[in-house]
Amino acid sequence: MEALTAGANIGSVPTEILLSILSILSSRDLLPLLAVNRRFYSAVIRILHTRLIKAAPLPNHRLILECYHPSAKLSTPYLYCDHLSTDDLDVGALDPQGQAEGDSQGQDGQQDGLPRPTMADIGQIYAHFRPIVQVENQRARLRYPRRAPSTQPGNNDTGGGGPSQAPQEVDVPTQDIYLDENQLFSQLCTITNLVKLGPKPSLFVSHVNVSDGIIRVWRQWMARQAEAESEGNTNGEILWADTSQNVGVRFRVAERGVRQSDYYRHAMPVLMAADEEPPVAYKLELEELVVRAHHLLLATERSEVQESDISGKALMISAAAT
């Protein structure tokens, strides 16, 4: 027996058992194991990639976006976001057991021209979402609203992040930007939160902040985007809310008539110098929300921990009225 156990170590454990053992750990606890050896590295990469693909659609959670001018914080409603797609990772260099080809031969994870996926590749996976205007914000509110079947996004049995049961003609969220003469840019506060819906709309069982940043929209950038839109280029550009590019919003820009704008109806100057920038107004359409997938994975795990901590207690987080 001593002879059998003398040479036994974690490196001799079959790959299937190693994956089962490591799968018990949280994603944050798995990260230090990347430095153990190449076998652990490949196993951790496989587990993280699988978790990312499963977590990005948010089957049991909802992603909420708040994007507003600082002066309109209280009047701008939040937006639920429907999952569109998740970037794929080339895992061709992984065999069915999750071990990188070339590890057993002591090679550097390179065979048949296929590079071994790295943690850097995992970090470049993004999840894409479509912001949705809530039903209650699509029409004027009634003092005594009639009861109707709920079409609240995510208000279903699973509370998932898939396409919502919204009307076929969905209003695109927009944000009006006004720049005074010689004003170079404006700013949009951009906050994303991960929530788990409660038994009633606007009640959250858990709430985890994913990102809290600021998007700066420049006068020249909006002018270029509006010109590209007028020429038929409908591919909006992503503006990032942080320097790490973890959360971004893809905008489409359309120029508004300044003289027809209520904001500038009584503020247009009579005379302007040749070197002065005139006041302008643009309409920004929030076409897509882009979030780094591993941030969503970590937020999902924090949400599960938060939910387990309050399990059995009558605690609900109510959404702010809009």
Integer-rounded Cα radius of gyration of the chain: 25
Can you list the residues of the chain whose pLDDT is less than 70? 1-8, 90-116, 135-170, 201, 257-275, 310-322
* Other C-beta atoms lying within 10 Å of the C-beta of residue 286: 24
Give me the pLDDT at residue 7, please.
57
What was the pLDDT predicted at 314?
43
C-alpha 279/C-alpha 256 separation (Å) is 11
d(CA 31, CA 76): 38
Which pLDDT value is given to residue 270?
56
Predicted local distance difference test score (pLDDT) of residue 228: 87
In tens, the pLDDT along 64-83 reads 999 999 988 888 889 999 99
pLDDT of residue 36: 84
Structural contact between residues 298 and 28, judged by C-beta atoms closer than 8 angstroms: yes
Euclidean distance between CA atoms 136 and 151, whole angstroms: 10
- Percent of the chain topping pLDDT 90: 28
Q: Are 195 and 275 in contact (CB under 8 A)?
A: no
Query: CA 209, CA 240: separation in Å to the nearest integer?
Result: 17
Rounded CA-CA distance 92/95 in Å is: 8
Q: Got the DSSP string for 133-148?
A: --GGGSSPPPSSPPP-
**Could you tell me whether strands 317-318 and 126-132 are parallel, antiparallel, or unpaired per DSSP bridges?**
unpaired
Q: Structure pTM?
A: 0.73
pLDDT at residue number 279? 87
State residue 140's pLDDT score. 42
pLDDT at position 143, please?
40
